Structure formats: C-alpha cells, structure tokens
Chain A
Amino acid sequence: MKTYFYSHIIETESLIVEIEKMGLSDEQKTHLIGLIESNLHHVILDAILSELSTEDKKKFLEHVAREKHEEIWGLLRNKVDNIEEKIKKAADDLKRELHEDIKEVKEKD
C-alpha cells in the first residue's frame, strides 16, 4: 500500500478488517479497499484545500505532486490551526459512512 503524507494519522484497518470478513475474492477486496483509499484521499484533499489561501493551495499542490511530505506538513502546520485534527475529522466522517454502508449490506443477510 502506498504511503501518503497523511498515512500516519489516518487508519483504515477497521474498514479493511470488515472487508476481509466478507469472504470476497482478492480482486473484489482490492477494488473495495481502493475505493476506500481514493474516497478518503478526496475528502482529505478537499478538507485541506478549503483551509488554504489561493497562493498556499498552489504551494500545497506542488508539494503533493512531488511527494514532499515534510514540506507539506511544514506548510500546513504553519498556515492552518489544528490541521491534523481537521484532516482526521474529515476522514472519520467518511469512514463512519463507509462503516454504515458495510453494516447495511451485512444486515441484508
């Protein structure tokens, strides 16, 4: 699994465990886990960009494209209060929805 600049503060294990329990093929599991990751990636980018000025958005995007994790965090911590908490909240809100979706399909058994 690829490491993103936010990987150390966002856990996806709880969702992956639930996917693992469903008895899906490897292809199916990989696909669903990928959708989880990609959805999280989008909400995290949105949460961050929404906190930045136009100029800082540009710097942030450049750092992300070049995978300069230290520079990303340097920028974010300097420009946004409690950025880790904001990222976590955005991710947690989405993860809660995804858990609900899993629960819903399991209840159909």
Chain B
Amino acid sequence: MPQKNYTPHYEHLKNKWTEKHRGLQRRLWEKHKDSLEWFAKQTHHLAAGSLAGLLFLASPSGMTTRPTPSVQVLDESIDKSAFLISDLQNNLPKDVRPLLSEEEDRIGGILTERYGFHVTAEFEGKKLNRSYGLIGAEQHLMRYPGDTMATHFATAEEVGKYTSSGMAPGRGAWGYFANSQAEMTEQDSMREKYYIAVQTFLTPGYNENVREYSQFFKYRKMLVVNPQNGHAVIAVIGDAGPAEWTGKHLGGSPEVMKHLERVDGSQRGPVLYYFVDDPGDTIPLGPVNVK
C-alpha cells in the first residue's frame, strides 16, 4: 500500500507522543528540580547541554553525539534549554543532511514555540539550500573603508576575545556595512558582529533571479541554533559562502561562533538556521534565550 496513505497515522501519533513527552519532561523537572539543578551545578563541566544529555539520553535518530561541554554559568533557563535540546534531538536526523520538508516544518515549529517568535525555513517563497548544516568560522568583515583590526573593537574585552580571528581581506558579499566610520550606526556594527555567511548561490532559483535573491538575502535576519547545547543567536546574512568544496554549509562570525560554542576544523558541528519573521524589526541581534 502506498506510504502516503499512512501519513495521518504518523502525524497523529507524532503529535500525541510529542505532547506526552513534553508533559513527562515538565513533570520530571517539577518533581525533582532540586536534585537536577544540584547535579548540573556541582559538575562544573556539565551545563545545560549535558544535563539534557543525562535526562534525555533516548534519541530517535540513535544520535550518539554528546552535548558540547560548556563552562557557562547556570541560570534559571537551564531547564528550558534542556527541553529544547531534547526536542531537537528527538527530531533531527542522525546525519547532518538537508532536512526533509516535514522535518523542517516540525523543527521550525519547535523553535518558534521555544523562542517565542516565528521562524521558518521558507520565507516569502524563498528558502536557502538547507536549514541544517555544518558551520565553519569566518573572519571579521570590514565595516567601512579603512576599518582595521586596530579600529574594529569597542572594548578591551572584545580585543582579547576576538582579535585572533583576523579580518577578511575583501569586503562581504554586499560591500561595506557603512560608507565611513562617521556614518556607521549601531545597527551596522551589530550586523557585522552577528553575521553568518550562507550559500546563497546554491539556493533554488538564485541563478535565474540573482538581483532579486541577492536583495532578499541581504542582511536577512536569521535564528542560528546549536542543537547540542541550545545556544542561539539572532544574526543577519552578511556574506555569501562557503564554497561547496569546503564541506561546510555556512559560516559564522567570530562572535557567532563564540556564543554557539562552535569551532572550525575537524571538530566542526551542525547548526540550525531559520529565517526570522520580524516585520517590525523588533528582535535584536545577538544571543537569544528560550523563553
């Protein structure tokens, strides 16, 4: 019998069991919160991601990847992050591959619910070549003509954290963020700080409508999530890349990579990246927590 006929069965069970799962998560946390919080706090190498790993070992995909170790200070949102990680582990495939349409929708729903604003893999009829892929490290971009590593950072702390990433020799795909240092706004600065590079050139329909697609993607706001630790940032598409041969699917600015706790090279890992539906431009760029 054709598989399609059984999809309603799947949808029904998936929805019912996902709801049940959330109820069980909630109950477990409410009943044993003190012990679970103690556990996360007393093992300094375990934070939100690892707590989720402890509690939610079962993964439908058989995924054995452990959450990324973190030294972040625990806060009250730890339980919420753990739930997010669990939900994502329960819905992501074992391999880092393009998500199926139904997977994209399901995960988009989870992210929308957990973060409290609407995200989607397809926006205004356009979508990227993928919404789940391996992220690599990008360099800082020149924000205006003459911007250098000496002028790039606002604080000594930033210098310490991000100087080693260096600055890309050329401009981003859309040129400078501002015409000059004097004209640079806070928005320009934040866009460079929290940017990702995506493979716009591989998106369906791009080659037939380069101008239209280029304008659409320029500084388009996106939610980027590390599914293994629940860290997320709101970023803009600030550059095009990386090339297909790199094996990477997108790149993140030094600040994005730092917050997501993602690294390049052999230890690189996957992220989810979805369009943020923010018509009023009210959602600020930078790190974002589950609600």
Point out residues on A near B: beta carbons under 8 Å.
1-2, 4, 22-25, 27-28, 30-43, 45-46, 49-50, 54, 57-58, 61-62, 64-65, 97-98, 101-102, 105-106, 108
* Complex: chain A residue closest to B93, CB-CB: A27
Quick one: which of A23, A30, A38, A57 contacts B56, CB cutoff 8 A?
Answer: A38
Pair A46/B24 contact, Cβ less than 8 Å: yes
Please choose the segment from B10-18, B163-171, B201-209, B277-285 that sits at the chain A interface, where 4 or more of its residues have CB less than 8 A away: B10-18
What is the bound-complex CA distance between A36 and B21, given in angstroms? 9
What is the bound-complex CA distance between A58 and B61, given in angstroms? 29
A80 to chain B, nearest CB (A): 15
B173 proximal to A (CB < 8 A): no
A-B pair number, CB within 8 angstroms: 129
Residues of B within 8 Å of A106, CB to CB, are: 9
Q: How extensive is the interface on chain B, given as a class? A: 35 or more
What is the bound-complex CA distance between A39 and B20, given in angstroms? 8
Can you pick out 28 interface pairs between chain A and chain B where the beta carbons lie within 8 Å of each other? A2-B57, A2-B62, A22-B10, A23-B3, A23-B6, A25-B3, A28-B7, A30-B60, A30-B61, A31-B90, A32-B13, A34-B61, A34-B90, A35-B18, A35-B21, A38-B59, A38-B86, A39-B17, A39-B20, A39-B21, A40-B58, A46-B24, A46-B27, A46-B28, A49-B31, A61-B39, A61-B54, A101-B17
What is the bound-complex CA distance between A105 and B145, given in angstroms? 63
Pair A102/B13 contact, Cβ less than 8 Å: yes
A102 to chain B, nearest CB (A): 7
Residues of B within 8 Å of A108, CB to CB, are: 8-9, 12
Pair B35/A27 contact, Cβ less than 8 Å: no
What is the bound-complex CA distance between A40 and B20, given in angstroms? 11
Contact of A65 with B39 at beta-carbon distance under 8 Å, contacts A30-B60, A35-B90, A42-B25 already known: yes
Pair B58/A65 contact, Cβ less than 8 Å: no
Bitwise interface map of B from 49 to 76 toward A, beta carbon under 8 Å scored 1, else 0: 0100111111111101000000000000
What is the bound-complex CA distance between A65 and B86, given in angstroms? 15
A28 to chain B, nearest CB (A): 5
A70 to chain B, nearest CB (A): 17
Residues of A within 8 Å of B12, CB to CB, are: 105, 108
* Complex: chain A residue closest to B25, CB-CB: A42
Residues of B within 8 Å of A98, CB to CB, are: 17
Pair A49/B103 contact, Cβ less than 8 Å: no
Pair B100/A27 contact, Cβ less than 8 Å: yes
What is the bound-complex CA distance between A24 and B1, given in angstroms? 10
B91 proximal to A (CB < 8 A): yes
Residues of A within 8 Å of B59, CB to CB, are: 2, 34, 37-38
Residues of A within 8 Å of B16, CB to CB, are: 101
B43 proximal to A (CB < 8 A): yes
Pair B35/A24 contact, Cβ less than 8 Å: no
B101 to chain A, nearest CB (A): 11
Quick one: which of A38, A46, A49, A61 contacts B21, CB cutoff 8 A?
Answer: A38
Pair A35/B60 contact, Cβ less than 8 Å: yes
Residues of A within 8 Å of B7, CB to CB, are: 28
Residues of A within 8 Å of B1, CB to CB, are: 23
